[in-house]
Amino acid sequence: MNKIRQPKVEDLRQFPLLSGLEESEAKRVLDKARVISVDRGEPLFHQGDPARRIWLCRNGQLKLFRLSDSGQEQIIALINPGRSFAEATLFMPERLYPVHCAAIKPSELIGFDADDLVESLHRNPDACFQLLGTLSRRMHEKINQIESLALQNAHLRVAHYLLEEYRRREQPATFRLEASKKHIAGLLAIQPETLSRSLATLQREGALDMDARFITIRDPGKLDSIAHGALPAPH
Amino acid sequence: MNKIRQPKVEDLRQFPLLSGLEESEAKRVLDKARVISVDRGEPLFHQGDPARRIWLCRNGQLKLFRLSDSGQEQIIALINPGRSFAEATLFMPERLYPVHCAAIKPSELIGFDADDLVESLHRNPDACFQLLGTLSRRMHEKINQIESLALQNAHLRVAHYLLEEYRRREQPATFRLEASKKHIAGLLAIQPETLSRSLATLQREGALDMDARFITIRDPGKLDSIAHGALPAPH
DNA sequence: GCGCTTTATTGATTCCGGTCAAATAGATGT
DNA sequence: ACATCTATTTGACCGGAATCAATAAAGCGC
């Protein structure tokens, strides 16, 4: 964690939760907010740390993750620019971060003061509803993640993940994976070796092409049917 | 889904989210609320159904779950008396239930009208904060569930689950499992056979005793160390 | 652009936990 | 209490994915 600066008003406007604030309110919140830079690989906070700040990623990329006793890492979410995180800690009885956070790429964040935000929320019912919406959406994502971990095997999870990325971008065919394969494996709760083998199989099946971090979906229908259990005959 | 009746004001007071409402507000919400009974095994709603009601379990027991393409069921949460559910749907762009719900035992619920609740929330910032707290707590639970699925093997999950139940009750030693072993297996994302074997091992190790649905923790320390990876030597 | 660290791929092997099967014990409803 | 249906336990077996190992390919910092 490096340089520390003052964020500007423009930065706030990116933050959906606070984009509707009045001028005076915005000024107050910004006053206690700070811009913070984190080097690649460096932690922003650890699980169990007091959650004094709520974060907005301005650029770079971070991961939220848990660690097992044996050092295995499970990625809970990848954070890309424009994404805020840790809002849920505002309302926990003990305000502690429930996960670790570290930068995957050199990153720049805005850290809002937690008490400050709660005050603003008290004065802005609309912002409360915004936040309720955000948390609800995240909850839904988590349920999907649980289903995926519990009900789908490694190949299905990979196929599902690719389909979702494909659809999310709207501009089909070719796209770049949002992170290294190692991190994507961590997100899908599989080993990098398994991801590698899965992608090789999908390629062999003609569902997609791959060039380093670039994926080209050749046959979305086939990918979809694989994602729903039409597992190609094991060699 | 059977008989339909009017809930009484007392019922509302159990519901943390609305327990602070003014008399007039409470009356309005109750007016559109209904008591609904569900027989054992019967569904209350299906995944994808329009979420017109938010529920409070008054008695009985229900499960929230997802189904895989092959019919496997993953339990997302067990619902016991006093627990409300489906609040998060209020703030989703599409108000649809994200999971299935069915009664495990004959159950009685109060169904609150969704639009009605949103109105109440608009008028009661305190209730908003209540709800933000509830959703935050659930989010935390989901993160724990993800970690458990991704980072722990079957035996660790079982040991962890038992420890949590043991601690949650505060009154140590002996307690009754909150559901059938089949359902607990569904919650832990393992097969009933595996749960059976895990429990047998824990018994053999002297960590606990078991009599049908009653568990007696004999050695919490041992259970804890097993939950953290001190896997007993496989026979 | 170069050297070095990190990431990705592929093969061989192991083992956890799922599946199938069968027997027993419990529950439920009438 | 009876008959039936469901839940639980135990054994045998199999397969998917982790692990270990070795090599190749990128990506990064200077």
Query: Would you call B90 and A132 a contact, using CB atoms and an 8 Å cutoff?
Result: yes
Q: Which residues of A touch B88 (CB under 8 A)?
A: 135-136, 139-140
In chain B, whose CA is at the least distance from the CA of A131?
Answer: B132
Through-space separation of residue A154 CA and nucleotide C24 C1' in angstroms? 36
Residues of B in contact with A151 (CB under 8 A): 66-68, 72, 74
Contact A157, A188 (CB under 8 A): yes
A90 sits within 7 Å of strand D by its CB: no
Measured distance CA(A26)–CA(A23) in Å, rounded: 5
Q: Is the pLDDT of residue A210 over 80?
A: yes
C-alpha B4: how far from its chain's center? 24
| Environment class of A7 (CB within 10 Å of its CB; exposed 0-12, middle 13-18, buried 19+) | buried
Bigger pLDDT: A21 vs A60: A60
Residue B228 has a CB neighbour count (10 Å cut-off) of: 16
User: Do A149 and B146 lie within an 8 Å CB cutoff?
Assistant: yes
CA distance B155 to chain A (A): 14
Place of tokens 């990623």: A57
φ, ψ dihedrals at B122, nearest 5°:
-60, -35
Strand C nucleotides where any atom sits below 7 Å of a protein CB:
7-12, 16-21, 26-29
Does A194 contact strand D, using a CB cutoff of 7 Å?
yes
Whether this prediction's pTM lies above 0.75 is answered by yes
Token pair recorded at residue A115: 């008490």
Mean pLDDT of B132-149: 96
Cβ atoms within 10 Å of B76's Cβ, excluding its own: 23
Output the CA–CA distances (angstroms, integers) from residue B137 to A92, A98, A222, B13, in the order listed: 7, 11, 39, 21
Taking an 8 Å cut-off on Cβ atoms, the answer to whether A149 and B70 are in contact is no
Percent of chain A with pLDDT over 90: 75
Average pLDDT of span A34-59: 95
- For strand D, the positions having any atom within 7 A of a protein Cβ are 7-12, 16-21, 25-29
Is residue A13 very low, low, confident or very high in pLDDT (cuts 50, 70, 90)?
confident
User: What's the pLDDT score for residue A89?
Assistant: 98
- pLDDT at position B234 is 41
Q: Residue B19 gets which letter from DSSP?
A: T
Contact B92 A66 (CB under 8 A): no
What pLDDT was estimated at residue A231?
Answer: 59
Rounded Cα–Cα distance for residues A26 and A49 (Å): 27
User: Is B151 in contact with B51 (CB distance < 8 Å)?
Assistant: no
pLDDT at residue A94, as a whole number: 94
Given A68, A128, A131, which is nearest B125 (Cβ)? A128
Are B97 and B89 spatial neighbours (Cβ–Cβ below 8 Å)? yes
Q: In chain B, which residue's Cα lies nearest the Cα of A188?
A: B150
Is residue B29 within 8 Å of B18, Cβ to Cβ?
A: yes
pLDDT of B145 reads 96
**Closest residue of chain A to B138, computed from CA coordinates:** A139
Give pLDDT, residue B235.
35
What is the reported pLDDT for B4? Answer: 56
Residue A36 has pLDDT above 70, yes or no: yes
Pairing of strands A34-38, A4-5: antiparallel
| Residue of chain B nearest A152, judged by CA positions | B68
Whether the predicted pLDDT of B177 surpasses 80: yes
- Residue A211 and residue A1: Cα distance in Å, rounded? 34
Average pLDDT over residues B125-145: 95
Most confident of A184-193, B16-25, B222-231: A184-193
CA A29 to chain centre: 24
Average pLDDT over residues A44-72: 95
Between chain A and chain B, the number of residue pairs with CB atoms below 8 A apart is 124
CA distance A43 to B111: 45
Dist. CA A199–CA A205, nearest whole Å:
10
pLDDT at position B2 is: 47
pLDDT at A26: 81
Q: What pLDDT does B179 receive?
A: 95
Distance between CA atoms of A91 and B133, rounded to whole angstroms? Answer: 5
Please list the residues that pair with A107 across neighbouring strands: A38
Asked if A1 and A42 touch (Cβ cutoff 8 Å), the reply is yes
pLDDT at B70: 87
Is residue B9 left, alpha or beta, with left meaning phi > 0 and alpha meaning psi from -120 to 50? alpha
| Pairing between β-strand B84-85 and β-strand B174-176 as defined by DSSP bridges | unpaired
For the segment B52-100, what is each residue's pLDDT rounded down to a tens digit? 999 999 999 999 999 998 889 999 999 999 999 999 999 999 999 999 9
Calculate how close chain B gets to A151, using CA atoms only, in Å. Answer: 6
Average of pLDDT values for B178-191?
A: 96
Of B76, B132, B136, the CB nearest to A146: B76
Distance A3 CA to D29 C1' (A): 20
Probe site for chain A from B47, B121, B147, B188 (most A CB atoms < 10 A) = B147
CA atoms of A156 and A175, how far apart (whole Å): 20
| pLDDT at position A181 | 97
User: Is the CB of A142 less than 8 angstroms away from the CB of B140?
Assistant: no
Cβ contacts of residue B33 below 8 Å, gap of 6+? B6, B7, B12, B110, B111, B112, B113, B116
Calculate the average pLDDT of chain A. Answer: 90
How many CA atoms are closer than 13 Å to the CA of A83, on its beta-carbon side?
15
> Which residues in A lie closer than 8 A to residue B137 (C-beta atoms)?
91-92
Hey, what are B192's tokens? 């009933």
pLDDT of residue B232: 52
Residue A134 has pLDDT above 60, yes or no: yes
Q: How many CA atoms lie within 13 A of B199 on its CB side?
A: 23
pLDDT in tens, B108-128: 999 999 999 999 999 888 889
**Confidence band for B30, pLDDT divided at 50, 70 and 90:** confident
Mean pLDDT computed over every residue of chain B: 90
Separation of alpha carbons B20 and A189, rounded Å: 42
The answer to whether the CB of B111 falls within 8 A of the CB of A155 is no
For residues B103 and B62, the answer to whether their CB atoms sit within 8 Å is: yes
- Per-residue confidence (pLDDT) for residue A44, from 0 to 100: 97
A150 vs B contacts (CB less than 8 Å): 66, 74, 149, 189
Of B74, B132, B143, the CB nearest to A131: B132
In the beta sheet, which residues pair with residue B115?
Answer: none
Distance from CA of B154 to the nearest CA of A (A): 12
- Cα dist from A31 to A8, A10, A38, A81, A178, whole Å: 10, 14, 21, 22, 33
